[in-house]
Structure 1
Amino acid sequence: MWLPVPADLTLLPNDVHVWRIDLDVPEPQLQNLLETLSSDEITRANRFYFPEHRRRFIAGRGSLRSILGGYLGIEPQQVKFDYQPRGKPVLAPHLSNSGIAFNLSHSQGLALCAVNYQRPIGVDLECIHAMSDIETLAQRFFLPREYDVVRSLCGHQQQEIFFRYWTCKEAYLKATGEGLAQLEQIEVVLNITEPAKLQTVDDWSLFELTPTENYLAAIVVAGSDCSLQCWQYSAF
């Protein structure tokens, strides 16, 4: 599913490209990525207390710059960002006329970057892990019918369903720019064997992915008739 990038990579109007990014990269590659970051990104990286978190932030932002630079036809260090009120990065005004829209999500040592043309897009990635308060969180953030589904399961199935709900809802909120306070307003219909669907919103496409073992992800993009293509990013 995760293909190497072709030499003639093209992003068509209905395409959604999803990039899988390994954040635990060798030191030489990390230094190359560090050199592409802006001064404010380097400041953010240096605020991390744990070196592992600092390295993964550098790898994520450097890889994002490299990916976007490839679409824009510019060097990674020439990519400039603005930030929406809730902190979502977007291309700076002088680059936004390209029509490129993107979103990045990371968890542990993995990240996903979703890219398309002109449509609001959101991606969420989560590493599945055991939690003692899954039902409490589901009752707080999910709709009653969703909570009932979570409560009806146990063990790994309960964890998987919870994180499927969470990634789908979070991806939609990231696409729309809304906050977590709206999490319980989004109805997702899913079960163990069927793909998820957004029940309460119109004209949005939802894709679920399993990027690797013990990870779940969702991509939400405005509109329909989207073609999903998945690429494996290779750091330079």
Structure 2
Amino acid sequence: MDVWLIPLDPPTETLEECAVLLDTDERRRVLSMLDPRNRRRFTAAHGAIRVILSRYLGVPAGLIRWRRGEHGKPELAGGGHGLRVNLSHSGDLAALAVSRRRAVGVDVQRLAPVDATALAARYFPETEAKFVASGTTAATRLLRFTRLWTRKEACVKASGARLAEGLGLPVDGRGRGAGRGMIAVRGTEGTLPGPYLVCDLDVPNGYRASVALAGTAPFEVVRRDWPDVGADATPAPTGARWPSGGRVPAAWGVRTTAC
């Protein structure tokens, strides 16, 4: 499966190209946002997603259509040739997970000053709350809390459920290793049933992120950075174009993470 990391503060030219791709509903949502920063972030994320998915689907980016699942989770209209996708964003970073057939969820969180001990005690299972509280510094407690939170939310999003249903999901991984850095997650009474496999992602400093796939079959994460022009970047898809007629203004950076 692929996970694309998308910076949400692109150059003005790229942002303008992204804006052209948005559909009517997305443009309406942008206009409803009062904060210019939120408008930029939304435009960058949803425009980039369209360019990325056009590569997989073989259709123009502007023609991609969405529908809403039972709890509002966006899904590709028309089945998307079996492609399953999920988006998360926090601060100036978005993550897009793309999977074939298997339900997928991804969550990225910017580290923010919160009372990690109190929140863990309120929402997490007792063993996880104790694990967070045992951190010797506030920074350690925050890192532990955020890591567990991203794993839970990734599972919730893979299931298409509501967040409240997954906060009690045990995701600390102790005694539940599945090899290659994966964590096998199964719910208990009152939580999401699963099973899921969860993998923590390599993301920039100041963020934490995890991805989850439904089922128990192992998987490999290929991390792709958009846009990323570098020596190890692979070419943009043949014929991929922006509405202006120019080629997609980015190479497709690839980094494999063995989870």
Shorter-chain TM band = 0.7 to 0.9
TM-superposed deviation, 1:148: 0.7
**Alignment correspondent of 1:82:** 67
**Alignment correspondent of 2:197:** 205
Amino acid at match of 2:133: R
The question of 1:179 aligning with 2:162 is answered yes
Of 97, 100, 105 in structure 2, the residue corresponding to residue 117 of structure 1 is: 100
For the Cα contact (< 8 Å) 2:106–2:209, is it kept in 1? yes
How high is the sequence identity, in percent, across the aligned residues? 32
TM-superposed deviation, 1:185: 3.0
Report the Cα distance in structure 2 between the residues aligned to 1:146 and 1:196, rounded to whole angstroms.
Answer: 18
The question of 1:141 aligning with 2:123 is answered yes
The alignment's C-alpha RMSD in Å is 1.7
TM-superposed deviation, 1:190: 4.5
TM-superposed deviation, 1:233: 1.2
Which stretches of structure 1, 4 residues or more, deviate above 2 A after TM superposition? 194-204
Amino acid at match of 2:212: V
Report the Cα distance in structure 2 between the residues aligned to 1:97 and 1:114, rounded to whole angstroms.
Answer: 14
The question of 1:55 aligning with 2:40 is answered yes
Of 21, 42, 51 in structure 2, the residue corresponding to residue 36 of structure 1 is: 21
TM-superposed deviation, 1:127: 0.7
Q: How does 1:147-158 map to 2 (within 5 A)?
A: 147-153=129-135, 154-158=137-141
- Evaluate the alpha carbon distance shift between residue 197 and residue 33 of structure 1 in structure 2; reply closer, same or farther with a 3 A threshold: same
Report the Cα distance in structure 1 between the residues aligned to 2:183 and 2:122, rounded to whole angstroms.
Answer: 21
Structure 1 residue runs of 5 or longer lacking an equivalent are 1-15
TM-superposed deviation, 1:21: 0.5
Report the Cα distance in structure 2 between the residues aligned to 1:168 and 1:138, rounded to whole angstroms.
Answer: 14
TM-superposed deviation, 1:85: 2.7
Normalized against structure 2, the TM-score is what? 0.79
Report the Cα distance in structure 1 between the residues aligned to 2:197 and 2:168, rounded to whole angstroms.
Answer: 17
Amino acid at match of 2:87: L
Amino acid at match of 1:67: I
Deviations 1:161-204 (CA, angstroms, capped at 9, x unpaired): 0000000000000000111221333101248xx95734424542
TM-superposed deviation, 1:134: 1.7
